Amino acid sequence: MLEVREVATFYGAIQALHGVDLDVAAGEIVTLIGANGAGKSTLLMTICGSPRARTGSIRLEGQDITHLPTHEIVLRGVAQVPEGRRIFPRMSVYENLQMGAIVADPAHFQKDIERVFEMFPRLAERREQRGGTLSGGEQQMLAIGRALMSRPRLLLLDEPSLGLAPLIVRQIFEAIGRIAREEKVTIFLVEQNAYHALRLADRGYVLVNGRVRLSGTGRELLANPEIRSAYLEGGHE
């Protein structure tokens, strides 16, 4: 589904990714964990072409997308729930969801929005509320719902549990699991919440200073002492 090869990304003179290699197969849930500043968000944005990889290549379903403009990458079935959610603050919940459906077939719109409202009933109650006035958890639900509206084949999620209460975190992870199972969406999940992420994921990668340091199945990584000390300190959740 997704092949990332030797990708190096720069912000001006600062190099954020130093030759990253990873794969996500169709139907998998793959997670990427790493400390603050490791380059996780940079990798997700590089997959979407903004910023662009300076060297290396990114292939989606066998096609090279390294040099495509962002909106064309999205058109090929990639959706992102970005860091900080990036809800349009002066648009209603409904309009935010409409924005998600830009690249989708308009004939699916009604069905898809009902599906999102069924998954996140709180959004249905707040359909006309402005995005900027939603709570953090509601914004996260909206960001995920908005991404689903495009009917992506590959969903990129950047720290969807950040700043949310444990109960909401559990709901969000449940929703991600459902999306993978029921909608057959391939998922690439960036998380600091390593425990939840590794339990949900088929496989995981660990990013350290812009390089992939470790990879393995979710279970292997959870059992790895290095991971336990670096990313699971302080217990679960």
Partner 1 sequence: MAYFTQQLINAITLGAIYGLIAIGYTMVYGIIGMINFAHGEVFMIGAFISLIGFMICAMLGIGSGAVAIILVLLVAMTFTAIYGWAIERTAYRPLRGSFKLAPLISAIGVSILLQNYVQLAQGARPKPGGHVVEGGFNLFSADGFDVRVTWLQIVIVVVTVVLMAGFSWLIAATPLGRQQRACEQDMKMASLLGVNVDRTISLTFVMGAALAAVAGAMFLMYYGIIDFFIGFLAGIKAFTAAVLGGIGSLPGAMLGGLLIGLIEVFWAGYFSSEYKDVAVFAILVLVLIFRPTGLLGKPEIEKV
Interacting residues toward partner 1 by CB under 8 A? 48, 50, 69-71, 74-75, 79-80, 82, 84, 86-91, 95, 98-100, 102-103, 132-133, 146, 150
Determine contact, residues 158/83, Cβ cutoff 8 Å: yes
> Between residues 37 and 132, which has the closer beta carbon with respect to partner 1?
132
Determine if 209 is a binding residue for ligand ATP (CB under 6 A): no
Evaluate whether 73 touches 50 at the Cβ level (below 8 Å): no
Part in contact with ligand ATP (CB under 6 A); list of ranges 30-38, 85-93, 116-124, 127-135 = 30-38
218 binds, among partner 1, Mg ion, ligand ATP, none (CB under 5 to 8 A by kind): none
Output b/e per residue, 210-224; b: 16+ Cβ within 10 A: bebeebbebeebbeb
- Which candidate, 20, 16, 22, places its Cα nearest to that of 203? 22
Q: Which of 2, 45, 35 is nearest to 213 (CA)?
A: 35
For partner 1, the closer of residues 99 and 168 by Cβ is 99
Task: Pick the binder of ligand ATP from 4, 7, 30, 38 (CB under 6 A).
Answer: 38
Q: Which of 1, 24, 33, 42 binds ligand ATP (CB under 6 A)?
A: 42
83 touches 159 (CB < 8 A): yes
Positions touching ligand ATP (CB under 6 A) are: 11, 14, 16, 34, 36-42, 83, 192
